[in-house]
């Protein structure tokens, strides 16, 4: 507990239940003024429900909260903002066709004229080291710059408590360094930060205190700087586990060959691959890094067949497949798992059984004479749930009912258990807790060990260094020549990624920021 007299937010016995799930079970913790306080827990531990209650998005069934010494029970986010609570969500809520100033105005109760708002945006962004041009179109911004828009929108409210959900998931190390500097500056001015992240090293580097949730309960309150990452992870899951280790693999023959692939981005924003060429051998994991918006989605669409390309641009075991659609490529053994879980990788209102059918119909022989074999389909979904420890009431649960991490485990498992010849994945462990991320990485390593070729697109540099055999950067729609992962430093990779938008712009000045993400 924070020292007496300095408590900003106090949560006592907060409980919230959904049908079949006790999301928060009498949770109690407190946050002090000027404190950076982490909320840790594996997927489904109750973190999201807890911060939604604090921000007024859900109403708890029991318990009480106080804010600045007064009873606090916001009925909606507007009431939370009026009290001094702001939140930056994991998924940005921005309109790409509008300017920075127009987007920020949409989030304000009584926005001033755009010219005056633009001056305020420029002043606040400079004061906190988050340079923004209020006239720029959001669709032209990098992921790091878009996050600045969300943060500046919150800072214009002069918050006393700022909630941040997975804020560095789409940032380069240099952008993360700038963010940490901003958060420390806010904390020094008395603003409290409630910080959710699965990156335990950054929690240890940034946060003053941490509350650990497990199965909806607060099981520990501690100083994360005094504990190692493995100890924190084991407190989160309540068991010991070892992170996966990349074993040396002898590469086999080339399985996937991409040559001269060009593809315009969908929607008119971001970048598509331009003259992308690479090969992946059987038993090899190729890691592709890059700042969001540099063509990752377009590249995966081109590999999966969702968007056709020139017939010879993509070859599977020497066979041109560029003109084939997703079903035909899956039948040949080329599977893919896109970044967006709900709406792309899974239909939100369909059950897990139905979502299993969507991609596994051919390779798992889930239809017979034109009719779905529901018993076989349900059995396949149950195998995925059991093999990947998906926390769900059963295969009949709707995809949207799962936490983000558990849905991700199901979607990755759905593809791996089909025994693909090539698996292309985008952000395979995004928003997934340490134990689940280790399980997914282990599964990708095992898949490669069995002879499959894996293309792993990720913005998690530690992840790429941990399991990839070779590494390349997608930079403004072009791919750098793949290099062996052994010997590459995090600093070197971070600079390669940051170069996608110019180091001068990322650092906010002429000085080049280097080194892994850590608060100054």
Which parts of the chain register pLDDT below 70?
1-5, 90-91, 143, 169-173, 239-250, 263-274, 292-293, 431, 490, 494-520
Q: Which residue has the tokens 């390349």?
A: 472
Alpha carbon 250 to chain centroid, angstroms: 31
Q: What's 320-360 look like in SS3? A: ECCCCCHHHHHHHCEEEECCCCECCCECCCCEHHHHHHHHH
CA 93, 194, 400, 445: dihedral to nearest 10 degrees? 100
What residues contact 393, with CB distance under 8 A and at least 6 apart? 20
Edge-to-edge order in the sheet of strand 161-165: 85-88, 161-165, 192-196, 36-40, 209-214, 217-222
What residues contact 439, with CB distance under 8 A and at least 6 apart? 388, 389, 409
Contact status, residue 94 vs residue 42, Cβ threshold 8 Å = no
Q: Are strands 470-475 and 483-484 parallel, antiparallel or unpaired?
A: antiparallel
Give the helix/strand (H/E) hosting 464: helix 461-467
Instruction: Parse the chain into domains and list their residue ranges.
Output: 7-237, 246-333+420-488, 342-419
Q: What is the pLDDT of residues 366-382, one digit of tens each?
A: 999 889 999 999 999 99
Distance separating the N- and C-terminal Cα atoms of the chain: 26
Angle value at C-alpha 193, between 192 and 197, nearest 5 degrees? 160
What residues contact 492, with CB distance under 8 A and at least 6 apart? none
Q: Are strands 70-71 and 62-67 parallel, antiparallel or unpaired?
A: antiparallel
- CA–CA distance, 157 with 179 (Å, rounded to integer): 18
CA distances for 316 relative to 261, 306, 460, angstroms: 14, 16, 27
Q: What is the pLDDT of residues 10-20, one digit of tens each?
A: 999 999 998 87
Instruction: Report pLDDT for 518.
Output: 38
Is the pTM here over 0.75, yes or no?
A: no
445, two tokens: 């390593």
Contact status, residue 487 vs residue 308, Cβ threshold 8 Å = no
CATH 3.40.50.720 fits 246-333+420-488, yes or no: no
Instruction: Report pLDDT for 490.
Output: 66
Question: Fold identical between 7-237 and 246-333+420-488?
Answer: yes
Instruction: Report pLDDT for 263.
Output: 66
Fold assignment, 7-237: Rossmann fold (3.40.50)
Instruction: Report pLDDT for 476.
Output: 74
- CA–CA distance, 126 with 77 (Å, rounded to integer): 27
Burial class (CB within 10 angstroms; exposed 0-12, middle 13-18, buried 19+) of 355: buried
- CA–CA distance, 9 with 24 (Å, rounded to integer): 17
CA distances for 132 relative to 101, 103, 122, 396, angstroms: 10, 13, 6, 46
Instruction: Report pLDDT for 198.
Output: 81
Q: Which residue has the tokens 């930060």?
A: 193
Q: How many secondary structure helices (H) and strands (E) does the chain include? A: 17, 23
Edge-to-edge order in the sheet of strand 276-281: 276-281, 254-261, 314-316, 319-320
């Amino acid at each position: 507990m924070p020292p007496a007299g300095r408590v900003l937010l106090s949560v006592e016995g907060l409980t919230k239940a959904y049908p079949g799930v006790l999301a928060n079970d009498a949770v109690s913790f407190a946050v002090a003024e000027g404190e950076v306080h982490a909320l840790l827990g594996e997927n489904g531990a109750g973190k999201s429900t807890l911060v939604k209650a604090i921000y007024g998005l859900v109403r708890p069934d029991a318990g009480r909260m106080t804010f600045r010494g007064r009873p606090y029970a916001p009925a909606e986010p507007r009431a939370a903002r009026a009290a001094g609570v702001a939140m930056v969500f994991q998924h940005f809520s921005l309109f790409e066709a509008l300017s920075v100033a127009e987007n920020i105005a949409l989030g304000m109760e009584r926005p001033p004229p755009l010219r005056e708002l633009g001056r305020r945006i420029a002043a606040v962004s400079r004061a906190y080291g988050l340079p923004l041009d209020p006239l720029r179109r959001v669709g032209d911004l990098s992921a790091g710059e878009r996050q600045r828009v969300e943060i500046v929108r919150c800072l214009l409210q002069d918050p006393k408590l700022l909630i941040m959900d997975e804020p560095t998931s789409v940032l380069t190390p240099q952008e993360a360094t700038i963010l940490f500097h901003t958060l420390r500056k806010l904390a020094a001015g008395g603003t409290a930060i409630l910080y959710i992240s699965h990156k335990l090293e950054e929690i240890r580097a940034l946060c003053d205190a941490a509350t650990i949730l497990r199965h909806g309960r607060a099981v520990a309150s501690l100083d994360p700087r005094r504990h190692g990452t493995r100890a924190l992870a084991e407190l989160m899951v309540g068991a010991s586990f070892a992170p996966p280790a990349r074993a040396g693999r002898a590469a086999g023959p080339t399985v996937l060959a991409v040559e001269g692939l060009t593809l315009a981005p969908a929607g008119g924003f971001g970048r598509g691959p331009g003259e992308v060429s690479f090969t992946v051998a059987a038993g090899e994991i190729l890691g592709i890094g890059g700042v969001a918006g540099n063509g990752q989605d377009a590249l995966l669409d081109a590999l999966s067949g969702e968007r056709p390309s020139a017939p010879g641009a993509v070859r599977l075991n020497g066979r041109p497949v560029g003109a084939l659609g997703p079903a035909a490529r899956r039948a040949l053994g080329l599977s893919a798992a896109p970044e967006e879980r709900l709406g792309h990788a899974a239909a939100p209102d369909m059950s897990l059984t139905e979502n299993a059918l969507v991609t596994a119909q051919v390779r798992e022989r889930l239809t017979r004479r034109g009719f779905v074999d529901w018993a076989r389909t349900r059995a396949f979904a149950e195998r995925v749930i059991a093999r990947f420890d998906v926390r769900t009431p059963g295969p009949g649960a709707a995809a949207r009912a799962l936490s983000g991490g558990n849905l991700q485990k199901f979607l990755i498992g759905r593809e791996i258990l089909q025994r693909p010849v090539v698996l292309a994945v985008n952000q395979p462990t995004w928003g997934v807790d340490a134990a689940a991320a280790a399980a997914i990485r282990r599964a990708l390593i095992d898949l490669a060990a069995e002879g499959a070729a894996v293309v792993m697109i990720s913005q998690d540099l530690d992840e790429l260094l941990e399991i990839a055999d070779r590494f390349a950067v997608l930079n403004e729609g072009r791919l750098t020549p793949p290099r062996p992962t052994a010997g590459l430093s995090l600093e070197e990779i971070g600079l390669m990624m940051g170069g996608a938008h110019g180091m001068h712009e990322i650092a906010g000045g002429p000085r080049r920021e280097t080194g892994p993400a850590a608060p100054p």
